[in-house]
Amino acid sequence: MGRHRLSVIRKQSLVSGLPLPAFRLPLLALLLLLAWPWVTMNEVWAQETAVSPLLTGRIRDAQEQPIFDAQITAYSGAEVLAEGVSQEDGRYTLLLVAGDPIPDQISIRVERRHFRETTYELPNRAIESLRQSNLLHTPIITLERRITPGFWIATLIFVGMLALIALGKLHNTLAALLGTSLIFAVSYLGAPLYEGLYIFHFEDALRYIDWNVIFLIMGMMIVIAVVERTGVFQWTAYMAYRLSGGRTWLLVIILMIVTGVASAFLDNVTTMLLMTPVTIRIALSLGINPLALLMPEVMASNVVGISTLVGTPTNILIGSYGEIGFNDFLVNLTPGVVLALVGLIAYNLYIYRHDLQLSSAKGSVSEVLLQRLAERGRITEPEHLKKAGVVGAGMILLFVLGEKVDLLPAVTAVMGATALLVWIKPDIEEMIEAVDWTTLVFFMALFISVGAIQEVGLISFIASGIGQLVGDNLTLAMLAVIWLSAVLSTVIANIPFTAAMLPVIGFLSANIPGADSKVLFYCLSVGSAMGGNGSLIGASANMVTAGIAERAGSSITYMYFLKKGFPALVITVSLATIWLFIRF
Amino acid sequence: MSGIICAIRGGASSQPTINQAILTANETKLPIYFLYVLNLDFLKKASQSRTHTISEEMQELGEFILLAAQAQAERQGMIANGVIREGHIIGDEIIGLCRELTADYVILGRPLAAKAENIFTHEQIDQFGRHIEQETGARVIYPTGDGT
Handedness of CA B10, B12, B14, B15 (dihedral sign): positive
Q: Are A232 and A272 in contact (CB under 8 A)?
A: no
CA-to-CA distance for A273 and A324, rounded, in angstroms? 29
CATH H-level superfamily of A54-143 = Transthyretin/hydroxyisourate hydrolase domain (2.60.40.180)
Q: What is the pLDDT of residues A356-378, one digit of tens each?
A: 875 544 555 678 888 888 888 88
- What percentage of chain A reaches a pLDDT higher than 70? 90
Domain spans, chain B: 4-141
- Band (pLDDT 50/70/90 cuts) for residue A413 is very high
Q: Say what the pLDDT of residue A22 is.
A: 54
Summary mean pLDDT of chain A: 87
CA-to-CA distance for A565 and A545, rounded, in angstroms? 14
pLDDT at A4 over 50: no
- Out of A242-246, B110-114, B143-147, pick the least confident: B110-114
Q: What is the pLDDT of residues A158-170, one digit of tens each?
A: 999 988 887 878 8
Query: Does the beta carbon of B35 lie under 8 angstroms from any beta carbon of chain A?
Result: no
Residue at A192: amino acid letter: P
CA-to-CA distance for A271 and A261, rounded, in angstroms? 10
Q: What is the pLDDT of residues B66-107, one digit of tens each?
A: 998 998 999 889 999 999 998 888 888 999 999 999 999 999
pLDDT at B144 over 90: no
Q: Say what the pLDDT of residue A66 is.
A: 87
Mean pLDDT (whole number) for A516-528: 95
Q: Say what the pLDDT of residue A24 is.
A: 59
- Chain B stretch 116-145, residues whose beta carbon is closer than 8 A to a beta carbon of chain A: 116-118
Handedness of CA A151, A152, A154, A159 (dihedral sign): positive
- Band (pLDDT 50/70/90 cuts) for residue A515 is very high
Q: Say what the pLDDT of residue A229 is.
A: 84
Q: What is the pLDDT of residues A57-71, one digit of tens each?
A: 999 988 778 899 999
Q: Say what the pLDDT of residue A18 is.
A: 44
The neighbouring-strand residues paired with A73 are A83, A109
Q: Say what the pLDDT of residue A19 is.
A: 46
CA-to-CA distance for A292 and A294, rounded, in angstroms? 6
Q: Say what the pLDDT of residue A489 is.
A: 87
- Band (pLDDT 50/70/90 cuts) for residue A468 is confident
Q: Say what the pLDDT of residue A9 is.
A: 33
pLDDT at A502 over 70: yes
Quote the ipTM score: 0.84
Q: How far apart are the first and last CA of chain A?
A: 69
Quick check: B45 and A171 CB within 8 A?
Answer: yes
Mean pLDDT (whole number) for A237-262: 93
Give the rounded distance of the alpha carbon of A388 from its chain centre.
26
Alpha-helical (H) ranges within A457-518 are: 458-470, 474-488, 494-511
Q: Say what the pLDDT of residue A118 is.
A: 96
Reported in sequence order, the residue ranges of B8-125 that DSSP labels E, i.e. its strands, are 32-38, 80-86, 105-107
Q: Say what the pLDDT of residue A576 is.
A: 97
Q: Are A68 and A58 in contact (CB under 8 A)?
A: no
Query: Does the beta carbon of A387 lie under 8 angstroms from any beta carbon of chain B?
Result: no
Q: Are A369 and B67 in contact (CB under 8 A)?
A: yes
- Chain B stretch 82-121, residues whose beta carbon is closer than 8 A to a beta carbon of chain A: 114, 116-118
Q: What is the pLDDT of residues A298-352, one digit of tens each?
A: 999 999 999 999 999 899 999 999 999 999 999 999 999 999 999 999 999 999 9
- Out of A35-44, A155-164, A558-567, pick the least confident: A35-44
Mean pLDDT (whole number) for B29-57: 79
Quick check: B42 and A548 CB within 8 A?
Answer: yes
Q: How far is B137 from chain A (nearest CA, A)?
A: 28
**Which CATH number is B4-141's, of 3.40.50.11740, 3.40.50.620, 1.10.3720.10, 2.60.120.260?**
3.40.50.620
- Band (pLDDT 50/70/90 cuts) for residue A101 is confident
Mean pLDDT (whole number) for A389-397: 94
Instruction: Name the strands in the sheet holding B139-141, side by side, starting at the edge strand that comes first in the sequence.
Output: B80-86, B32-38, B4-7, B105-107, B139-141
Summary mean pLDDT of chain B: 83
- Band (pLDDT 50/70/90 cuts) for residue A202 is very high
Q: Are A27 and A18 in contact (CB under 8 A)?
A: yes
CB pairs under 8 A between A and B: 118
Q: Are B115 and B80 in contact (CB under 8 A)?
A: no
Q: Return phi, psi of residue A218, to 5°.
A: -60, -45
pLDDT at A423 over 60: yes
Higher-pLDDT residue of A357 and A462 is A462
- Buried (b) or exposed (e) across B15-44, using 16+ Cβ within 10 A? bbbbbbbbbbbeeeebbbbbbbbebbebbe
SS3 A137: strand
CA-to-CA distance for A476 and A573, rounded, in angstroms? 15
Mutate to test the interface with A, among B14, B36, B41, B54 (most CBs of A within 10 A): B54
Question: Which residues of chain B lie closer than 8 angstroms to A435, CB-CB?
Answer: 49
- Report the candidate in B139, B132, B102, B126 with the shortest Cα–Cα distance to residue B27: B139
- Report the candidate in A354, A281, A240 with the shortest Cα–Cα distance to residue B65: A281
Q: How far is B46 from chain A (nearest CA, A)?
A: 6
Question: Which residues of chain B lie closer than 8 angstroms to A433, CB-CB?
Answer: 49, 52
Question: Which residues of chain B lie closer than 8 angstroms to A441, CB-CB?
Answer: none
Q: Say what the pLDDT of residue A34 is.
A: 66
Q: Which of B39, B64, B117 sits opposite A369 (nearest CB)?
A: B64
Highest mean pLDDT among A172-176, A418-422, A487-491: A418-422
Instruction: Estimate the crossing angle of helix A540-550 against helix A268-286, to 10 degrees.
Output: 30
pLDDT at B117 over 50: no
Q: Which of B9, B49, B68 sits opposite A434 (nearest CB)?
A: B49
pLDDT at A23 over 70: no
Domain spans, chain A: 54-143, 149-206, 211-583
Residue at A528: amino acid letter: S
Q: Say what the pLDDT of residue B87 is.
A: 85
Quick check: A284 and B53 CB within 8 A?
Answer: no
The neighbouring-strand residues paired with A118 are A110
pLDDT at A140 over 80: yes
Mean pLDDT (whole number) for A511-528: 94
Q: Which of B8, B44, B50 sits opposite A270 (nearest CB)?
A: B50
Q: Which of B53, B71, B118 sits opposite A366 (nearest CB)?
A: B71
The neighbouring-strand residues paired with B6 are B34, B107
Q: How far is A377 from chain B (nearest CA, A)?
A: 11
CA-to-CA distance for A155 and A182, rounded, in angstroms? 12
